[in-house]
Structure formats: structure tokens, C-alpha cells
Amino acid sequence: MRMANVTRLGVKELQTLLRDPIMLALIVYAFTVSIHAAATAMPETLNEAPITVVDEDRSPLSRRLVDAFQPPYFEPPTPTTLARMESRLDEGLTAFALDIPPAFQRDVLAGRQPALQLNVDATRMTQAFSGAGYIEAIVNQEVGGFVERYRAGASPAAPVALELRALYNPQLNQAWFGGVMELTARITMLAIILTGAALIREREHGTLEHLMVMPVTPLEVMLAKILSMGLVVLIAASLSLLLVVQALIGVPIAGSVPLFLAGTVLHLFAATSMGVALGTFARSMPQFALLILLVLLPLLMLSGAMTPRESMPAFIRWLMLAAPDTHFVMLSQAILFRGAGIAVVWPQFLALLVVGVALFAASLAGFRRAVGALAH
Amino acid sequence: MMDRAACLAGVRLAYRRAVALDGVDLEIPAGCLAGVVGPDGVGKSSLLALIAGARAIREGQVEVLGGDMRRAAHRRETRPRIAYMPQGLGRNLYGSLSVAENIDFFARLFGLGAAERERRIDLLTRATGLAEFTERPAAKLSGGMQQKLGLCCALVHNPDLLVLDEPTTGVDPLSRRQFWDLVGHVRAARPGMSVLVATATFEEAERFDWLAMLDAGRLLATGPPDALRERTGADSLEAAFIALLPAARRKAHVPVDRGERAREPQAEAVIEARALTRRFGDFTAVDQASFSIGRGEIFGFVGSNGCGKTTTMKMLTGLLEPSEGEARLFGEQVDPRDLATRRRVGYMAQFFSLYRELSVRRNLALHAGLYGIQGDAARARIAELAERFDLQDHLDDLPKALPLGHRQRLSLAAAVIHRPSVLILDEPTSGVDPVARDAFWQILARLSRDDGVTLFISTHFMNEAARCDRVALMHAGRVLAVDAPAALVKASGAADLEAAFVARLRREQDDAGSTAALDEVSAQGRRDERADSADSAGNAGNAGRAPRVRFDLRRLLAHARRERLELQRDPLRLAMALIGSVILLFVMSYGISLDVDDLTFAVLDRDRTTLSRDYTGDIAGSRYFVERPPITSEDALEARMRAGELGLAIEIPPGFAADIARGRSARVGAWIDGSMPQRAETIRGYVQGMHAHWLARKAREAGHEAALITPYRLETRFRYNPDLESLVAMVPAVIPLLLMLIPAMLTALSVVREKELGSITNFHVTPTTRLEFLVGKQLPYIVLSMGSFLLLVLMALSVFDIALKGSFATLSAGALVYLAAATAVGLVISTFMRSQIAAIFGTAVLSIIPAVSFSGMIEPVSSLEGLGRLIGEVYPTTHFLMIARGAFAKGLGFEALQGAFVPLLIAVPVLLGLAVLLLAKQER
């Protein structure tokens, strides 16, 4: 293998990319606007949840309850009738519907423990659970406060106070998490697509065959693609981390940026190798396009960037250890949020290296086979 | 009948920098065989593309078939009457479709009935000698056969104006004769038809009725060949052309010295084929080919199209493994891994195989570099080759902007850049003009004579074959004869090499069939002509023809059928679309669980009393938490949280139990890993709940029962999914996601791929409207995706055991509209992008992200903020998700869900309209 050939072919890849302004614009979009939009779209825990209240009581207490549902957690409640409540739930217009029964205030004050009915649209999984909790807390506070005015100082102070503190993201700001995770997703996406598609284009245009009559080895061709495309993604990722994630979204980066970028390099090695492997497996661009979806979607959704790994079934958790993304997401969270150093994240670095070498070997074998089977 | 086919006035056309046409005024007579002749790069192709309506007119007037081609209405009317065959091998064909299907597609575009199509396919394939290959995919045809197929496609609808751009490029001599015979017969049968041909070959121009000579974007002269010769007093058209050039340009065209090279004794064999055989399946492409080529020899390779020349050459370069026999270079068996050998060989493929996206200079620099020529040496070499191959003016152009002839020169320059000692050239001069060909042969002669380079060259030009030291004649995979050209002529008793070759091939292949077919062409043509004139005389309209000008369902279906065939030919893609969506449903529905459990926690217990253990015991016993070894110190707490080992750390202060016993308030610290806010939120909820529960239990134990009675009860009902099961929520959410991404990705390449591979020209020059083209492409994918939809629903009902509580009909109707929108999203991306890579990445970025993040799959759209919210509101997935969840979980029917149909029904025409706007009907 000669590095000079790798460099030359790598420069060629970069020149090709520069010739495609729409592609460049897409890369810029993917690493700026798209990350920002996706990160900031995610609500801060419960945000403006639609709630419908049926006030059959029309008492000071029930009005106090209705007024208690305020932004940012809830949209101002829509008053409605019991009959309309069902259809609002059905049509997905509201996620929660609270029914305050007639004579609620009277019964509360009389100690009859009247029942409030809360309907939750449970198909909205994330909101259903936390939203119900918030509503319960709000109702509790309002009714409790109302009752207290009547029989002051009745309940003893709780003997134990719970002091809850969220580390690394005290306000549990979703955008911090979203910004970093969207960035990792873009890195994987671009790395795999760029290398795989660049390889298929060479095959479709007959240039790969042409390279194989020149003194160039498959290893050189492959390394050139991996290095050049990896470089492009690395640059895009670094700029996006500093300008979009840190400056624009305002994520306080706790750990070392160079360490994160070192991890990114390892991840890119694995992801671009995977791109080559997919590019040798697919025989045409349309096949590659579908293959990409079949691979990318599970990678992005099961890497732990979307939902916590803990909640995945064991076999998927185990299977996803073979995916570079999983380790990359872990090390990104550790370094960027928790400020972890190499002493903490070395297992992820090692795992990425192992997965990367395995993917590289597999893609080189596939690439050699593809070159051998070029002519027909 | 009008007297002129086309009339141009003041036509100018400039590309980025280069001027292709520089004020052309021209009248092309109708009803004759008219030619545009001139060397490479003088603007012939641009002229033809303007006349055929393939390219938009920038400046000047172009009148074709009696109307202004600037007017869209006229273009629409004339397109059914024009047939255009673009330059380049098989550029407008569909590789995975068979010969018959390719012709059939064009016939359908022009509205021919089934019986008529079958008859014409049969006739045309027999007339061109393609009858044996009707089932072979176009991609597997040799270059020459592709040209013939291109002609069949152009002729299938009896055009009034046939525009052929260098149609005989790469066609063997016998086929060339058959080709012109066919054109002649078609013309004889339809005297009204005008034929306009571009050619760089002056011999070919001799057969034309009328000529326009073009040079450097300007017209030199027009008239019948005889008149042109007479006017200049030249004995050949080539001489006439040179005489007509302006004085300044004439110098460049001094007739070249066709120096014959001195023969050298053949020393050792440098290239050797020993009983070389190659089979593809049960087809034997090369059958026991044997020959040997000595050092410094120019060895010609001639033969009919598709006879195995390219395959033989590929085996000798090591690109292809022989099935049997031996390929030897420099006295050794060819080893594909031997880089030292590759350094000594130059190879030029038949199809252009340099980088289209790199400039001429960069292509050459890359080649120089890869062969180890660097720095000044490389620059000098590139300059030298640019001069020798007349590429100086094009060094910064992209190859696709070059005329075919210049592209070939570039390939050749790249093949010789490293001064190889063996050159294997596969039809290097196809499409190159005669002057350049002569110059090129001089270079070859010098290479061979001066540098002892061994040349193995295939060609369809017999005057080139005559310049070789020896020639091998190949047919149907076998080498028929190897000898010096003169000896071959002598042995055959023919007048020249071409005649000898044609005679030999005629003997080998029975062309009685094609002769009979040609006669039929004439007879049928006359019948068609009579029918046409009867038509125009006012008889009842001929229902089989007369496609409508604006929107024609048959054309739409022709495109749909072709797209479907291409999809069928690609079973892997079909399988990925269908089975892939099922696999994804599995992985994602099981994988994306919103139940947060198995959370890790550990305790820093500084109290170590029964009470403190009782407090943490509640958490340890819960199904949500998994306890890790206790934390020993503050530092350990921080380190283990940092490592991500713990989601929750509980710190019990010293004196916890004692404080409570004394009635003093105690404080418990809970540290949550906030790096994943969603998870942290859930942990917070759990911990608060457990804390409250513990307090209540303690209070009960202490007898404070009464104080803890709440003034009311909250009855929470989780509707539609009472157990808060992830699957029930996820499956109906994943189905819309998959039905957006896969269909969008399927159509995302459909248009841009045609742009990249060249077949988009067919859309430019046929009567197809933009809507027909797009919807035609869309239909097969909607049908396929409806299949996926049914499969996914079936999976949901059976494997996941999720009940479909609502209306299946509503769900299906929603899916149909939704899929129309999803495929239209792909089409918009496809019409906008310029490369397939950009289309794939664009689809991934522009469709995965909104579908996953903004459509309410995890967070409801109403809770989103900013740009994401806006996208989510209009994105089709949002609305189909509503339908899917409504139908699956909520048991709703059309009544309740109709609100979600409205945005989808709006999205389809809006997206399609956008795609139509983005798609140019003419090349710009």
C-alpha cells in the first residue's frame, strides 16, 4: 500500500464532493438547521400539553383548578361538556381530560372524598405518564391549599424531606440532550451514505473497473474513501459541535472536546467501513438507498440516543453492542454531559476500535470480491 | 408536404464558457436524408438537440415542421412526429429492460396498440439482426448492438422527422450497411419523412442527399455533396470541407501524413491468448480464442458487434477471469494482483470510464499521479498530451461537457500517460472525427515504431484495420482468421478489407432474415403511408394512433409499466422494500420501549440503621430499579455517576434515624443523572412516588392515619392502552414511519437516476408530459407500498397481537393517500437533486428526521416548538399517524378521522405540483 495513492484518490473524492453544490448545501443543512430544529423542538419535559376540563361544579374550587393549568406545562384548558370530551380524546385534540363532578367543592369540604376523573390518552406514551403525574401534583396543591384555608395547620410537617437534584443537566433541558444526540445521528448518517454511495457511483460509472487496470490496490481505493469522507464528516461535526450545539443551543460541554473528537474519529473509522461494506453488498444505487434505510433506522433508533438502552429488550441491547453507534452515543454522553475522561470512556474507545477493525476487514473482503466480479 | 423540415435563424448557444453555436442560419430541406457534418466539437450535437426539442433555445429562431420550437404548444404538437437518438452508446436505453421491452416502451409512448407493437418489434429486430437477442437486457448488449436498438426505438412510431446523432458510432461495417439499408427502406416507404444525421465521417456523408458543413459553431456551406465538391473543386468531401474553412483554421487541417510503419520482425510474444474461453451462465462469450502478439506489433481486432472482443480484452488485462485457457502478458500468465504488470499496460475501455465530475486536467493529473508521475514531470506530460490530443482548450471542462470525440481523446490520453509498453485499446476511435483519428494513428505508429510499444486495438473502421500489422477477425466468440490485412483481402478475393470482412461475416451469419424484414419494412411503410393520407383526407380517425397532446393515460401507463419492469428485474430491491419493512417493524417496535425500567441505583448510607435500610429497601424492591453495590464516599458517588454507571444515587445523612426519632426533620439527597432528561424525569417521578409512599407507611405505622386522608380521590384512566404498553403505542406509530421512509426512498432515485445515466433525454424528446412522467413513476411504488402496508397490518394483528379496533377500510384509504404523498415527497427530492448521492442523503435528512422527531411518534406535535412544530404540522406522517392510532387503538372510523384526511389530500397535489415545477421538460 502506498500512502501517495491513497492521498491522490482521497483528494479526488473531495474534489468530486465539491462539484456537487446541492450535496454540500444538504450537509450544511443537516449539521446546522436540522440539528437545531430537532433539538429545540423537543419540549422541556411536559410542554403545552393539551388538556380539556369539564367543569360540572362551577364552584370557586373548580374554577381555581381550571385556572391552575397554565403554560408552559399545559395549554390553557379548553372548557367543554361531558359529551364533547369523548370525541376530543378520540380525535386526538386533547391528551388529558379532567372531569370535575357536580358538587365537588361541597363534598370536599364535607370530607366525603369526591372522585375527580382524569382521562389520559395512553397512546401518547411519553406524555401520558409524566402528564398524569403533573396533573396529580397540581390538583393536590390546589385542593390542598383550598382546604387548608378552612382547617388551618391540621397536617403535621413531613418528617423527611427529599432533596432531588439532577446532575449534569439541572433543569433537565431537553435541547441539551437533543442537540448532542442529533449530532451523533448526523455523523453516522453522513459517514455511511457518503462512503457507500461514492463506491457505488464508481461502480455504476465504470470508473472502479478503470482503477483496477492501474497500479492501485483495492485497499488503497477503500482507504482513500474512508479517509476523505471521514475527514469531511469530522470537519462538519467539529464545526457543528462548537457553533450549533455549544454556541447556538447553549449546551455546556462538560468534558474535553478533543477527547470527543478522538472518539468521533474512531467511530468514523467504523461507520465509513460499514458504508463501504454496504456499498459492496448493494449492486446499484436504488438497492443501496433501501439498504441504507434498513441499516440506518435501527442504528439511529436503538443506539440509546432516542430512548434509554435500559428499557430495550435484552437481546436488542446485546445485539446493538455490535453497532458502533451504541458505543459512540455512550461516549458522547459521558464526555460531553458528564465530563468523563479517558479513564472512564476507554471501554467505549476499545469497543469502537474492535467493531471498526471487524467492519473494516469485512468491507475489505467484500470490496475485493466486488472488484473481482466487476465485469458482469 | 412542406419543403423544409427545419429552419434556423441566428441561433446561438453557449455553455458555461464555450460557445457551441455561434449564429447559425440554416434551412434543412424536408423529405430527404440530410446530414450535418464536421469534426468533433463544432456544435453538431447542440444543433440536433435544439431541432429535436431536447434542449431549450437560448437565442435565435428554430422552426421545425412548420412551427416555432420556442412555443411550448408547438413542441407538444410536434413531439409525436419527431424521433431523436442522442449521441453516445445506449444513452437513452434502459439497461435492465430487454431489447423487446425497450422498443415496446417507446411504442407505447407513442400510443401504438398491442398488435401493432408486436408486429413492429418483430420487424425492426429482424431488420437489424437483433431478433435473436430480443430477451437480452440492453445493458448486456455490446456498444454497437445498443446503437441498433436505439435506432429501433427511434423508428418504432413512424416519425416525420428522424434526428440521429452519430448513429453508427461503434457499429461494425456489416451492421452499418444494414443500418443504412434500414433507413433507406424506411425512407423509400415513407417518402415524406425527413432524416437529419450528424456525422464526423466524410465517407458516410457521401450517401446523404443534402449536407450542412459546420465548423466552430458556424455554418460553412450547405448543399448536395456533388454541389459542394463542385463548388470547391475538390475530389472528396473532406477536401471540400478543408477548402471551405477560413484560412486561419485551414492550417490546423492540413491533410495528415498517414505514415506507414516499417515492419519489424516479431520477437517474443508480448500478449498471448491460449484457447481463451469465457462463459457467462450458459452463454459462451469467447470460445477458444488463440493468438499471439509480438513486441512492437500493431494488432487489430475486428468483428461484428457483440462477438466477444471486449471480453477477450478484459481477460488479457486481468479484469476478467477466463473460464478456460490462458491469458498471458510479457510471457507470464496474467495475475490480476500483479501491480508491476499493470504499470506496463495501458487500457482504454469501450465505455467512457474516467471521472465525469472531475475536469479534464484533474483526470489526467490523477492518472499521472497513480502511475507515479509527479510534480513538474506530470505537468509537462499533461501539457504534452493536451497538445497532442488537441485538448488544450478543454483542460478545465468537465468530460460531460465535451463532445464524444474529445471524450475519447481524453480516455486515450489517460491510457498512454505513463508510457506503457503494452496498450490495449477497446474501440478507441469510435466517435472520433477522421482528422483526429489520423493524428491518433500517427501517435500510435510512433509509439510502436519508435518506442516498441505493443498495440492491441479493436476497431470498426476498416481503414484503421488496414494500418495494422496483423488483424484478427472475430465472430460469435471465435477467432475466424489472423493475418496481415493484405493477405486477408487476397485470400477473400474481395476489393478491399471492408468488402472482405463483410463477405466473411455474411458467410457466417444468415442475413436472409434481415433482408426479408427490410422488404417488409418497405411494404408496411407504404401501407401506413396510405392509411395516413386516408386519415388526413378526412376519414374516420385512426383510434390506434393519435395520442392526445396534453394528458394521455396510455403514456402515463407506459412509464408506470417500465418502472414496474425495472423494479421486477431487481428482486433484491423488491425484497428489501417488502421484507425490510417487516424486519424494521419488528426491531423498532420491540426496541423502542418507552417503559423505563431496570434503572441502576446505589446508596450512600452514612446512617447505617434499620430505618435507613428500610427507606432504601423500598427503592431496591421496586421493579423499576436495580441495585448496585453501595457507594462508599462522596468521591465514589461522583465518579460512578460520571461513568454513567448509576442513574440514581441516594444519600442518607448521618443521624437520619436519630433525627426522625427526635422529631427533627431529616433530609435525604437523591442525585439523578440528568444527561438523558426523559429518563431523569421518569426517575424523579418514581423516587417522589416512593418517597411519598414511604412517608405514608411510616405515618400509618405511627397512627397518624386521619391526618393523611386526602380530601378527594383522583381516578386516572389510561384510555386506549390501559396497561401503558409500549407495543400498543409503538406499532401503530412505526407503521406510518416505515410507510413514509421506504416509499420516499424508492421514488427519490427514480428521476435523478435517469438524469445521471442519461435516459432522461427520452422524457425531453417524447410527447410525455411532466405529470405523466412523474405519476407514471409513482404508480408502481404506490402499489408496492400498499403491499407493504397490508403486510405490516397483518404482522401487527398476528405477531404483535394488536387489535384493530376501528375501521380497516378507513385505515387503508388513509394509507393509499398517505403513500401517494410519501412517494411524491421522494419525487420532489428526486427532481430537485442533481446526483443520486445527494438524493439519498437528502431523503434521509429531509424525511427521516421529520418523520421520527416531528410527527408525534414520541412527542405529540402539539407539544413541539419552533421549526420542528411547523414541519410537524404539515408533514404527512403526522396525519397518517393520527389515522393509524385512531384506527388501531381508539377504534375510530371515518367520521372521527376525516379531519386527518384533509391535509393528506392537500399534500398530494401540492407535492406533485412542486415536482412538476422542478422538472424541466427541456435540457437547459
User: B781-794: per-residue pLDDT in tens?
Assistant: 999 999 999 999 99
Residues of A in contact with B456 (CB under 8 A): none
| Environment class of A355 (CB within 10 Å of its CB; exposed 0-12, middle 13-18, buried 19+) | buried
What pLDDT digit, counting tens, does each position of A275-319 carry? 999 999 988 899 999 999 999 988 988 888 887 887 788 888 898
What is the percent of chain B with per-residue pLDDT over 90, rounded to a whole number?
33
Nearest neighbour of B845 by CB, restricted to A15, A34, A125: A34
Residue of higher predicted confidence among B521 and B572: B572
Per-residue confidence (pLDDT) for residue B536, from 0 to 100: 44
CB of A285 less than 8 A from some CB of B: yes
d(CA B411, CA B349): 8
Q: In terms of domains, do B749 and B635 share one?
A: no
In a domain, B712, yes or no: no
Q: How confident is the model at residue B161 (pLDDT cuts 50, 70, 90)?
A: very high
Greater confidence (B313 vs A370) lies with: B313
Omega before A101 cis (within 30°)? no
Residues B154, B158, B159, B162, CA torsion sign: positive
**A19 interfaces chain B, CB cutoff of 8 Å:** yes
**B817 part of a folded domain:** yes
Q: Which of B801, B129, B220 is nearest to B514 (CA)?
A: B129
Quick one: closest CA in B to A296, which residue? B844
pLDDT at B510: 62
In a domain, B658, yes or no: yes
Q: What is the pLDDT of residue A75?
A: 84
Question: pLDDT over 70 for what percent of chain B?
Answer: 92
Instruction: Assign A364 a pLDDT band (cuts: 50, 70, 90).
Output: very high
Span B506-525, mean pLDDT? 69
How many helices (H) and strands (E) chain B has is answered by 36, 25
pLDDT of residue B2: 52
For residue B736, the model assigns a pLDDT of 94
pLDDT on residue B251: 58
Number of domains in chain B: 4
Alpha-carbon distance B167 to B87, whole Å? 7
Residue B749 is part of which domain span? 553-573+724-918
pLDDT score recorded for residue B539:
37
Cα B863 versus chain centre, distance: 41
- Greater confidence, A339 or A111? A339
Would you state the pLDDT for residue B549? 66
* CB atoms B594 and A125 under 8 Å: yes
In a domain, B718, yes or no: no
Q: Is residue B500 part of a domain?
A: no
Q: What is the pLDDT of residue B520?
A: 74
Q: Is the pLDDT of residue B533 over 60?
A: no
**Domain end point (choices B705, B733, B765):** B705
What pLDDT shows up at residue B258? 42
Residues B237 and B273 reside in one and the same domain: no
Q: Which of B785, B680, B580, B368 is nearest to A166 (CA)?
A: B680
Q: How far is CA A369 from the centre of its chain?
A: 36
Which of A62, A120, A210 should one mutate to test binding to chain B, selecting the residue with the greatest count of B CBs within 10 A? A210
Q: B609 and B561, same structural domain?
A: no
Cα–chain-centroid distance for residue A358? 26
Question: pLDDT value at position A46?
Answer: 67
- What residue type is B125 in one-letter code? T
Q: Report the residue of chain A nearest B868, measured CA to CA.
A: A41
Please state, in angstroms and rounded to a whole number, the distance separating the CA atoms of residues B420 and B341: 10
Question: CATH number for the domain including B139?
Answer: 3.40.50.300
**In a shared domain, residues B57 and B188:** yes
Higher pLDDT, A328 or B702: A328
User: Region A171-179: what's the mean pLDDT?
Assistant: 84
Tell whether domain A51-150 is in CATH 3.40.1710.10: yes
Query: Do B603 and B660 reside in the same domain of the chain?
Result: yes
Confidence class of residue B537 from pLDDT cuts 50, 70 and 90?
A: very low
- B-proximal residues of A, 327-366, CB under 8 Å: 330, 333-334, 337-340, 344
pLDDT above 70 for B535? no
Mutation target to probe the B interface, by most B beta carbons within 10 A, among A87, A88, A167 is A167
- Determine the Cα–Cα distance for residues B372 and B364; give it in Å rounded to an integer: 12
Q: What is the mean pLDDT of residues A361-367?
A: 92
- pLDDT mean across residues, chain B: 85
- Residue B530 pLDDT greater than 70, yes or no: no
In-domain check, residue B582: no
Per-residue pLDDT for A335 more than 80?
yes
Q: List the single range of A156-160, A255-259, B50-54, B491-495 with lowest mean pLDDT.
A: A156-160
pLDDT of residue B723: 63
CA atoms within 13 A on the CB side of B32: 19
Residue spans of the domains in chain A: they are: 3-42+173-372, 51-150
User: A362-366, B313-317, B541-545, B919-923 — which is least confidently predicted?
Assistant: B541-545
Domain-ending residue, one of B445, B460, B483: B483
The residue-averaged pLDDT of B487-505 equals 85
pLDDT-based confidence at residue B447 (cuts at 50, 70, 90):
confident
Using CA atoms, how far apart are residues A207 and B347, in angstroms rounded to an integer? Answer: 12
**Contact call for A307 and B721, based on CB within 8 A:** no
Q: Are B59 and B47 in contact (CB under 8 A)?
A: no
Q: Is a pLDDT exceeding 70 seen at residue B112?
A: yes
Q: For the ranges A308-317, B483-492, B521-530, B864-873, which has the lowest average pLDDT?
A: B521-530
B341 pLDDT above the threshold of 50:
yes
Cα A172 from Cα A163, distance rounded (Å): 16
Q: Is residue B687 part of a domain?
A: yes
DSSP alpha helices (H): ranges in B22-142? 44-52, 72-78, 99-109, 114-127
Q: What is the rounded average pLDDT of the residues B622-646?
A: 88
The answer on pLDDT for A171 being more than 50 is yes
pLDDT at residue B721, as a whole number: 67
The nearest CA of chain B is from the CA of A165 a distance in Å of 5
State yes or no: pLDDT of B544 exceeds 50. Answer: no
CB < 8 Å to B673, chain A: 166-168, 338
Is the confidence at residue B408, as pLDDT, over 60?
yes
Mean pLDDT of chain A: 86
In a domain, B924, yes or no: no
8 Å CB contact of B719 and A22: no
Is pLDDT above 70 for B266?
no
Lowest mean pLDDT among A48-62, A358-372, B539-553, B736-750: B539-553
Reported as a single tens digit per residue, the pLDDT across A203-236 is 888 888 888 888 888 899 999 999 999 999 999 9
Same domain, B669 and B796: no
Closest Cβ opposite residue A209 in set B349, B665, B682: B349
Dmax over CA atoms of chain B, in Å, equals 128
Residue B541 has pLDDT above 70, yes or no: no
Q: How confident is the model at residue A325 (pLDDT cuts 50, 70, 90)?
A: very high
Instruction: Find residue A30's DSSP bridge partners.
Output: none
Query: Which pLDDT value is given to residue B880?
Result: 94
Question: Per the structure block, which three cell numbers stand in for B138?
Answer: 440492453
The domain that holds B643 is classified in CATH as: 3.40.1710.10
Complex prediction ipTM? 0.85
| Residues on chain A touching B590 (C-beta within 8 angstroms) | 312-313, 316
A5 touches chain B (CB under 8 A): yes
Smallest Cβ distance to B685: which of A91, A130, A298? A130
**A122 at the B interface (CB within 8 A)?**
yes
List the single best residue of A2, A251, A310, A345 to mutate versus B (max B Cβ within 10 A).
A310
Helix, strand, coil percent values for chain B (each to nearest 5):
50, 15, 30
Work out the pLDDT band at A109, boundaries 50, 70, 90.
confident
Residue of A nearest to B370 (CA): A5
Q: ∠B722-B727-B728 over CA atoms, to 5°?
A: 45
pLDDT of A166 > 90? The answer is no
Query: Closest approach of chain B CAs to the CA of A356, in angstroms?
Result: 23
Whether the CB of A41 is below 8 Å from some CB of chain B: the reply is yes
State how far the Cα of B797 lies from the Cα of B804, in Å rounded to an integer: 7
Asked if A78 has any chain B CB less than 8 Å from its own CB, the reply is: no
